[in-house]
Amino acid sequence: MVIARSGLTARFPARFTLVLAANPCPCARSAAADAACTCTPLMKRRYMARLSGPLLDRVDVKVQLLPVGRAELLSDRQLTEPSTVVAARVREARLRAARRLQGTRWRFNAEIPGSELRRTFRPAPGALVPLERAMDLGQISARGADRVIRMSWTLADLAGEDKPRLSEVGCALGLWLGAGL
Ligand SMILES: [Zn+2]
C-alpha cells in the first residue's frame, strides 16, 4: 500500500482480505423471519450510517446473511457443496487469471490498475451498461466502478469465460451495491 500526502510518500507492504460483519439494526433481530425487531426505519438508517462511505466504497462484496433456520440446521450436510469442490473451482479461476496476466507484473485481478482495466482488460462490448447506469445515477464512485470491473473479471474466471459479460458485470455490481441491505 502506498500513501502519498504533501511531499511525503510512505510504502506499507500489505496484502490482506478484510472481512467485516455488522448487525442490520441496533437490536440485531430484524433479519429473523419472526422479526421481533421494533427498530424504526430511521433508527436502522442511523445505525447503518455509522459505517463511513469511504470505508464501504472499498468493500467489494456486501451481502445480507439470514439466520439459519431449523430445517437447515437439521438437514443432511452431505447435500451442501464440500470445500474441496469449491477449492478446485477457485484454483481453476486463479489459473485462468494467471494465464491472462502472464508477462505483466500483476498476479491477481485485484492488482490490475484502473487505467489498464480501461486499456487492456476491457469487458465484452455492451457489458458495462448496468455499471454506466449506476454511475449516471450517482450510486457508485469511480473507485467503486473499477472495483466492480475487477470483480467481474473474477466472476468470468469462475464461469470459464474469456471476458466479463453483461451477467458478470451485473452480478459484480449487485454485490458491490449490497442489494437488499
Ligand atoms: Zn432491530
Convert the pLDDT of each residue in 136-170 to its tens digit.
999 999 999 999 999 999 999 999 999 999 999 99
State how far the Cα of 85 lies from the Cα of 159, in Å rounded to an integer: 14
Burial class (CB in 10 A: 0-12, 13-18, 19+), 174: middle
Percent of the residues in the chain that have a pLDDT greater than 90, as a whole number = 56
CA 121/CA 150 separation, integer angstroms: 9
> For residue 50, how far is its CA from the centre of ligand 1 (angstroms)?
15
The Cα 60–Cα 175 span in angstroms is 7
What ranges make up the beta strands (E) of the chain? 2-5, 8-11
Q: Is 107 helix (H, G, I), strand (E, B) or coil?
A: coil
> How does residue 84 score in pLDDT terms, banded at 50, 70 and 90?
very high
- Ligand 1: distance of its center to the CA of 67 in Å? 14
pLDDT at residue number 181: 67
| Span from the CA of 43 to the centroid of ligand 1 (angstroms) | 8
Give 8 Cα–ligand 1 centroid separation in angstroms: 45
Distance from the alpha carbon of residue 22 to the mean position of ligand 1, in angstroms: 12
Give the per-residue pLDDT at 31: 59
- Residue 111: pLDDT band with limits 50, 70, 90: very high
Q: Which of 12-21, 26-35, 72-81, 137-146 has the lowest mean pLDDT?
A: 26-35
The better pLDDT of the pair 23, 129 is held by 129
Q: What is the pTM of this model?
A: 0.82
pLDDT computed for residue 168 by the predictor = 97
Q: What angle do CA 160, 163, 166 make, to 5 degrees?
A: 100
Please give the average per-residue pLDDT across 112-116, as a whole number.
Answer: 94
Residue 122 identity = R
Task: Please tell me the predicted confidence (pLDDT) of residue 2.
Answer: 78
Does 180 score more than 80 pLDDT? no
What does pLDDT average to over the chain? 89
Residue 90 has pLDDT above 90, yes or no: yes
Q: What 3-state DSSP class applies to 6?
A: coil
Say which residue the cell 466492480 belongs to. 148
Size (the chain), residues:
181
Compute, in angstroms, the gap from residue 66 CA to the centroid of ligand 1: 14
- In angstroms, what is the span from residue 39 Cα to ligand 1's centroid? 4
Ligand 1 centroid from CA 71, angstroms: 24
Every domain of the chain and the residues it spans: 82-177
As a whole number of angstroms, the distance between CA 22 and CA 62 comes to 11
pLDDT value at 51 more than 60: yes
Cα of 141 from ligand 1 centre, angstroms: 30
